Structure 1
Protein backbone atom coordinates (compact mmCIF):
# COMPACT_ATOMS: atom_id res chain seq x y z
CA UNK A 1 0.00 0.00 0.00
CA UNK A 2 1.40 3.37 -0.97
CA UNK A 3 1.26 6.70 0.75
CA UNK A 4 -0.73 9.45 -0.98
CA UNK A 5 1.63 12.31 -1.75
CA UNK A 6 -0.69 14.79 -0.07
CA UNK A 7 -0.89 12.73 3.10
CA UNK A 8 -1.09 14.67 6.33
CA UNK A 9 1.55 14.16 9.03
CA UNK A 10 -1.06 12.15 10.95
CA UNK A 11 -1.63 9.84 7.97
CA UNK A 12 2.11 9.41 7.51
CA UNK A 13 2.52 8.60 11.21
CA UNK A 14 -0.26 5.98 11.05
CA UNK A 15 1.31 4.26 8.03
CA UNK A 16 4.78 4.43 9.60
CA UNK A 17 3.47 2.95 12.85
CA UNK A 18 1.74 0.12 10.99
CA UNK A 19 4.96 -0.74 9.15
CA UNK A 20 6.96 -0.54 12.39
CA UNK A 21 4.47 -2.78 14.20
CA UNK A 22 4.67 -5.26 11.30
CA UNK A 23 8.39 -5.63 11.99
CA UNK A 24 9.72 -3.83 8.94
CA UNK A 25 13.37 -2.78 9.18
CA UNK A 26 13.10 0.07 6.64
CA UNK A 27 10.41 2.55 5.69
CA UNK A 28 10.49 4.70 2.55
CA UNK A 29 8.33 7.77 2.15
CA UNK A 30 7.88 10.07 -0.83
CA UNK A 31 7.06 13.57 0.38
CA UNK A 32 6.15 16.02 -2.35
CA UNK A 33 6.39 19.78 -1.96
CA UNK A 34 4.35 22.20 -4.06
CA UNK A 35 6.90 24.53 -5.68
CA UNK A 36 4.53 27.47 -5.38
CA UNK A 37 5.06 27.25 -1.60
CA UNK A 38 8.86 26.98 -1.44
CA UNK A 39 9.03 29.27 1.58
CA UNK A 40 7.22 26.59 3.60
CA UNK A 41 9.48 23.73 2.52
CA UNK A 42 11.17 23.40 5.86
CA UNK A 43 7.92 23.44 7.83
CA UNK A 44 6.11 20.93 5.62
CA UNK A 45 8.96 18.46 5.34
CA UNK A 46 9.83 18.84 9.03
CA UNK A 47 6.27 18.07 10.11
CA UNK A 48 6.18 14.96 7.92
CA UNK A 49 9.58 13.70 9.10
CA UNK A 50 8.76 14.37 12.77
CA UNK A 51 5.50 12.45 12.42
CA UNK A 52 7.28 9.42 10.99
CA UNK A 53 10.11 9.57 13.52
CA UNK A 54 7.48 9.70 16.27
CA UNK A 55 6.36 6.25 15.12
CA UNK A 56 9.75 4.70 15.91
CA UNK A 57 11.82 5.52 12.82
CA UNK A 58 14.88 7.70 12.21
CA UNK A 59 15.96 9.22 8.89
CA UNK A 60 18.82 7.22 7.40
CA UNK A 61 19.06 8.97 4.01
CA UNK A 62 17.08 11.27 1.76
CA UNK A 63 17.25 12.57 -1.76
CA UNK A 64 15.38 15.38 -3.51
CA UNK A 65 14.35 15.24 -7.15
CA UNK A 66 13.41 18.55 -8.70
CA UNK A 67 10.56 18.24 -11.17
CA UNK A 68 10.44 20.98 -13.81
CA UNK A 69 7.46 23.24 -13.17
CA UNK A 70 5.90 20.88 -10.66
CA UNK A 71 6.29 19.76 -7.09
CA UNK A 72 9.70 18.62 -5.83
CA UNK A 73 9.90 15.02 -4.64
CA UNK A 74 11.83 14.06 -1.53
CA UNK A 75 12.48 10.39 -0.93
CA UNK A 76 13.21 9.61 2.71
CA UNK A 77 14.66 6.28 3.81
CA UNK A 78 14.01 5.58 7.48
CA UNK A 79 15.44 2.81 9.66
CA UNK A 80 14.11 1.48 12.93
CA UNK A 81 15.16 3.44 15.97
Structure 2
Protein backbone atom coordinates (compact mmCIF):
# COMPACT_ATOMS: atom_id res chain seq x y z
CA UNK A 1 0.00 0.00 0.00
CA UNK A 2 1.27 3.44 -0.95
CA UNK A 3 0.20 6.43 1.12
CA UNK A 4 1.18 10.03 0.43
CA UNK A 5 0.54 12.88 2.83
CA UNK A 6 0.40 16.09 0.81
CA UNK A 7 1.31 19.35 2.48
CA UNK A 8 3.89 22.09 2.55
CA UNK A 9 4.75 21.63 6.22
CA UNK A 10 1.87 23.33 8.04
CA UNK A 11 0.74 22.07 11.43
CA UNK A 12 -2.33 20.28 10.01
CA UNK A 13 -0.15 18.50 7.44
CA UNK A 14 2.22 17.29 10.18
CA UNK A 15 -0.74 16.16 12.27
CA UNK A 16 -2.19 14.18 9.34
CA UNK A 17 1.17 12.46 8.79
CA UNK A 18 1.31 11.52 12.48
CA UNK A 19 -2.29 10.23 12.53
CA UNK A 20 -1.76 8.12 9.39
CA UNK A 21 1.31 6.46 10.92
CA UNK A 22 -0.53 5.86 14.22
CA UNK A 23 -3.55 4.38 12.41
CA UNK A 24 -1.34 2.00 10.42
CA UNK A 25 0.44 0.85 13.60
CA UNK A 26 -2.85 0.33 15.45
CA UNK A 27 -4.25 -1.66 12.50
CA UNK A 28 -0.99 -3.58 12.00
CA UNK A 29 -1.04 -2.68 8.29
CA UNK A 30 2.20 -2.29 6.34
CA UNK A 31 2.40 0.71 4.03
CA UNK A 32 4.95 2.96 2.41
CA UNK A 33 4.15 6.43 3.79
CA UNK A 34 5.65 9.41 2.00
CA UNK A 35 5.38 13.08 2.96
CA UNK A 36 5.10 15.19 -0.21
CA UNK A 37 5.95 18.85 0.35
CA UNK A 38 6.72 19.91 -3.22
CA UNK A 39 3.88 22.14 -4.41
CA UNK A 40 4.32 20.95 -8.01
CA UNK A 41 3.78 17.32 -7.02
CA UNK A 42 0.81 18.24 -4.83
CA UNK A 43 -0.88 20.10 -7.70
CA UNK A 44 -0.37 17.07 -9.99
CA UNK A 45 -2.85 15.22 -7.77
CA UNK A 46 -5.38 18.01 -8.29
CA UNK A 47 -5.10 19.06 -4.66
CA UNK A 48 -5.39 22.82 -4.24
CA UNK A 49 -5.91 22.87 -0.46
CA UNK A 50 -3.74 20.99 2.00
CA UNK A 51 -3.51 18.76 3.85
CA UNK A 52 -4.17 16.05 1.31
CA UNK A 53 -4.16 12.27 1.62
CA UNK A 54 -3.54 9.92 -1.30
CA UNK A 55 -3.89 6.16 -0.86
CA UNK A 56 -2.84 3.86 -3.71
CA UNK A 57 -2.95 6.79 -6.14
CA UNK A 58 -6.46 7.94 -5.17
CA UNK A 59 -7.03 11.32 -3.51
CA UNK A 60 -9.03 10.62 -0.35
CA UNK A 61 -8.81 13.97 1.48
CA UNK A 62 -8.14 17.53 0.40
CA UNK A 63 -8.23 20.68 2.49
CA UNK A 64 -9.26 19.21 5.82
CA UNK A 65 -7.95 17.16 8.70
CA UNK A 66 -9.93 13.94 9.14
CA UNK A 67 -10.21 12.09 12.42
CA UNK A 68 -8.31 8.86 12.98
CA UNK A 69 -11.46 6.72 12.55
CA UNK A 70 -11.95 8.18 9.07
CA UNK A 71 -8.30 7.49 8.21
CA UNK A 72 -8.64 3.87 9.35
CA UNK A 73 -11.79 3.44 7.24
CA UNK A 74 -9.96 4.77 4.15
CA UNK A 75 -7.04 2.45 4.78
CA UNK A 76 -9.39 -0.53 5.18
CA UNK A 77 -11.16 0.30 1.89
CA UNK A 78 -7.86 0.31 0.02
CA UNK A 79 -6.39 -2.70 1.82
CA UNK A 80 -8.97 -5.22 0.56
Q: TM-score, normalised by structure 1?
A: 0.34
Q: TM-score, normalised by structure 2?
A: 0.34
Q: Which has the larger radius of gyration?
A: 1
